[in-house]
Structure 1
Amino acid sequence: MAPAAAAHAADGADGAPAPQGNGVCTFPMKQQIKERPWALQRIVFDQLWQDTKGRDAHGRPVRVAVIDTGVDNTNPQLTEAVDTKHGWDFLHHTKDGSTETAEDPKAPTDGTYDPVGHGTKVAGIIAARPRAGTGFVGLAPEATVIPLRQNDEKGSGNAATLAQAIRKAIAADADVINISQDTTKPLTPHSDLAAAVQEARHKNIVVVASAGNDGLDGRPKDTYPASYEGVLAVASSDRNNERAPFSQSGDFIGVAAPGVDMVSTVPKGGQCVDNGTSFSAPYVAGVAALLKAKHPDWKEYQIVAQIEQTAERTVNGRDLFVGWGVVDPVRALTDDARPIDRPSANSGPAKATPPDLTAWPDGESPQERLVRYATYGLGAGGVAVAVIAGAAVVWRDARKRGRAPAGDARQ
């Protein structure tokens, strides 16, 4: 199964289309995924949420802007999470604010129209509310999502609309911005997109962006806006806390987060499973939202440093594949006696024992297999892992032996 590509925001007129899932997920999903997803099973929620679930000491919910393909708030887990008043659809509105009719004229223009489903999945990982009948929940289930739609399956979004969306997030008083989109087209540090990112940072907004899904060749490559200074760039990790084979590598990577067989909300209701750095970024954005709620006086770069410093590491420092390590939500929220300005090299938390591998049962449908992969427990007599590509096994085995296949850059 190939990973679903992340939505792209390309420069100029050649925008790349946003993904429509992994070919298995359709929506609405009539049935919910009952079990707790593997990426959440490693979290002790009583510890994670002992101080906040996404509201500050005054009861104000942290505001997370999701710049994506829209966020469908008809999913019951997102209905109370989405701020429709400050949402905006850049594909429905002209520059002067009038409404275009190129799409369904009956569709909402407040950012809650998501025929692709990508943005709805991203938002769910951040702030989905608990719901009876499913073990899936967002990492910051009392945070508020600001839906900013600027891309679709046609690739209508570009660097210009992405910059506009960032500025809209600033105007909407966002505390965190999640951008699960990228472009490899060269953009200078003086581009309008770079300027918009810095404007957000100057307003003390944490900017989180996905690293991109073009990493199968293992070659470092800058992606934007993830590689801009101050942006927390997120790669994808698997159950072994190794880089997922598709995850882009580079010296700009801040941390990694689960990105394989990720469960989240879809338009109209239910959940499905998908893959990609697009779904690793909101996992980190959810942690950033919790830190913002607990420490509203911290600077944005201190929240980024906290997430990087408390990540689970396998090397003494930072590498090209997972940055400072795989995010540890609980440690980020509990090992926080004082703010730090930047991460430092040290041994970091001990690496967890990798789970055993087991074969999948015969007779499973693709969707049943995906759900099983996404919900298997950790360390309970062995778990199954997704077999994404034979090249991934070669890469991982070679890395463990201390040498990389040809073309795989190492630090």
Structure 2
Amino acid sequence: MRTPRGPLRPAPPSRRLFAVAAATAVGCLGLPVPSAVADTPGQCSYPGEMYQGRPWALQRVLLDELWKQSTGEGVRVAVIDTGVDIKNPQLKGAVDAKSGLNLMPENLKDANGNKVERGAENGTTDTVGHGTKVAGIIAARPMDGTGFSGLAPKATIIPIQQNDAEGNGTAVSLAKAIDEAVERDAGVINISQDTAKAVEPTPLLKQAVDRALAEGVVVVASAGNDGQGGNVKKTYPASYEGVLAVASSDRNNERAAFSQSGDFVDVAAPGVDVITTVPGGGHCADNGTSFSAPYVAAVAALIKSKHKNWTPRQITAQIQQTAERSTSDHDRLVGWGVVDPVRALTEDDKPIERPVAREGLTRAEPPTPPEIHLGETPEERDTRLATYVVVGGGVLVAAIGGSAVALRDARRRPGRATGR
């Protein structure tokens, strides 16, 4: 089977498969942003400069409290992407290079006929940078000189190179990558890409997703970046049942303008000005649901590490139920809300199978209002008059008694001398 090259287009319908959009088409290259750590505004340089502060997406999380609950230790997260560059110091200890895989075909050429670098067989080459950014958000190790780290800093990344900047990658190769991730004992799979034109691809992709879920693997996918102007449509594999579909939120916990909307969206996570790792070392800022998905994948890894027997459905329901939202129910913009990592790890007394709307509201009897009297009954009037008589009589008796005492005292008083 020939792998599509150049622009992302559906493969011939007779083959029943469609080209998978290159990750950068819905991430780095599609949504350039000015970056404090980039040499040129709107572009990422590899390697990049070190980001010294704490990125805003991490400032909203009490990391010490979070890591008291879990660090993701023991959980393997497959990053199906453009590869993961282990030359970045924060990723070198996070990546299991022995389990990595490169699914890119041999002898690739771009639209101009130039040979495309395929990279290392173990998926640790990333000339695009997209997969390296995704991996850093999940499991970058803390390091002196920067406030950036992955949300699950002791999770292990399995790099699976499945596509590149030229659009080399199909729904079939993505399905194979999912199967390979399961074979390599992945507990969580992150897919920061979707199919071209939001068209449902070959059934092989859904079958691979279903197999992963059946094996207890949490599958997280980006919702897509074609939401400008309120565009609503399904994307794949995010729209498949059981996949945790992630939209992008901004600093105000609102949907990012580019983020795909739809009933399939489950939750949202930071996807604007996201600081993360780049090939060769250092950091860069980028936008896109491609970088929201790994944020949620990291939370899934944290939960899976803490609750080893929880099912994918229970883990995704926990993330949905504890998300921060302004409405009580699900909506098509941010799903159940913006993921709250600390709450997801601390409000976990028991697993749930599905999120519940109107969280925290209970139906109770309303308070009984006091009776309001607009007049008085005859009985009440008689009682009132009787009270007046008794009180008035007591006052009169007291007055008469007081006068008698005063008169008696006056008579007993001796007369005044008038002379002798």
TM-score, reference length from structure 1: 0.77
Aligned counterparts of 2:169 and 2:9: Cα–Cα separation in 1: 6
Superposition pairs of residues 20-169 of structure 1, within 5 angstroms: 20-21=28-29, 22=32, 23-29=42-48, 31-55=49-73, 61-92=74-105, 103-104=116-117, 107-169=119-181
Unaligned runs of 5+ in 1: 1-6, 56-60, 95-100, 350-411
Aligned counterparts of 1:302 and 1:326: Cα–Cα separation in 2: 18
Letter in 2 for 1:27: Y
Rate the CA distance shift 1:169–1:347 in 2: closer, same or farther, 3 A.
Answer: same
Rate the CA distance shift 1:46–1:18 in 2: closer, same or farther, 3 A.
Answer: closer
CA contact (8 A) 1:8 1:181 kept: no
Aligned counterparts of 1:227 and 1:155: Cα–Cα separation in 2: 21
Aligned counterparts of 1:336 and 1:238: Cα–Cα separation in 2: 26
Aligned counterparts of 1:40 and 1:14: Cα–Cα separation in 2: 34
Aligned counterparts of 1:306 and 1:287: Cα–Cα separation in 2: 10
Superposition pairs of residues 237-248 of structure 1, within 5 angstroms: 237-248=249-260
CA contact (8 A) 1:18 1:116 kept: no
The answer for the alignment partner of 1:4 in structure 2 is none
Q: CA deviation at 1:288?
A: 0.2
Letter in 2 for 1:54: G
- Which of 199, 203, 213 in structure 1 is aligned with 2:211? 199
Question: How many residues are matched?
Answer: 329
Rate the CA distance shift 1:18–1:287 in 2: closer, same or farther, 3 A.
Answer: closer
The answer for the alignment partner of 2:312 in structure 1 is 300
Superposition pairs of residues 300-319 of structure 1, within 5 angstroms: 300-319=312-331
Q: CA deviation at 1:130?
A: 0.4
Letter in 1 for 2:80: I
Aligned counterparts of 1:258 and 1:185: Cα–Cα separation in 2: 23
CA offsets 1:175-198 (integer angstroms, 9 cap, x no match)? 00000001244226x700000000
CA contact (8 A) 1:72 1:112 kept: yes
CA contact (8 A) 1:176 1:205 kept: yes
Aligned counterparts of 1:248 and 1:144: Cα–Cα separation in 2: 29
Rate the CA distance shift 1:13–1:42 in 2: closer, same or farther, 3 A.
Answer: closer
CA contact (8 A) 1:234 1:280 kept: yes
Letter in 1 for 2:66: L
Aligned counterparts of 1:346 and 1:242: Cα–Cα separation in 2: 19
The answer for the alignment partner of 1:282 in structure 2 is 294
Give runs of ≥4 in structure 1 deviating > 6 Å: 7-10
CA offsets 1:70-116 (integer angstroms, 9 cap, x no match)? 0001100000000111111111569xxxxxx95447x3210111000
Letter in 2 for 1:50: K
Aligned counterparts of 1:9 and 1:306: Cα–Cα separation in 2: 37
The answer for the alignment partner of 1:383 in structure 2 is none
CA contact (8 A) 2:269 2:295 kept: yes
- Larger of the two Rg values belongs to structure: 2
Task: Please state whether the residue corresponding to 1:234 is helix, strand or coil.
Answer: strand
CA offsets 1:31-62 (integer angstroms, 9 cap, x no match)? 2000000000011112101132111xxxxx20
Unaligned runs of 5+ in 2: 1-6, 12-16, 33-41, 108-113, 362-420
Task: Please state whether the residue corresponding to 1:223 is helix, strand or coil.
Answer: coil
The answer for the alignment partner of 1:323 in structure 2 is 335
Task: Please state whether the residue corresponding to 1:217 is helix, strand or coil.
Answer: helix
Superposition pairs of residues 261-280 of structure 1, within 5 angstroms: 261-280=273-292
TM-score, reference length from structure 2: 0.75
Aligned counterparts of 2:210 and 2:8: Cα–Cα separation in 1: 20
Rate the CA distance shift 1:252–1:14 in 2: closer, same or farther, 3 A.
Answer: closer
CA contact (8 A) 1:170 1:200 kept: yes
Aligned counterparts of 1:272 and 1:136: Cα–Cα separation in 2: 11
Aligned counterparts of 2:137 and 2:10: Cα–Cα separation in 1: 25
Aligned counterparts of 1:281 and 1:329: Cα–Cα separation in 2: 13
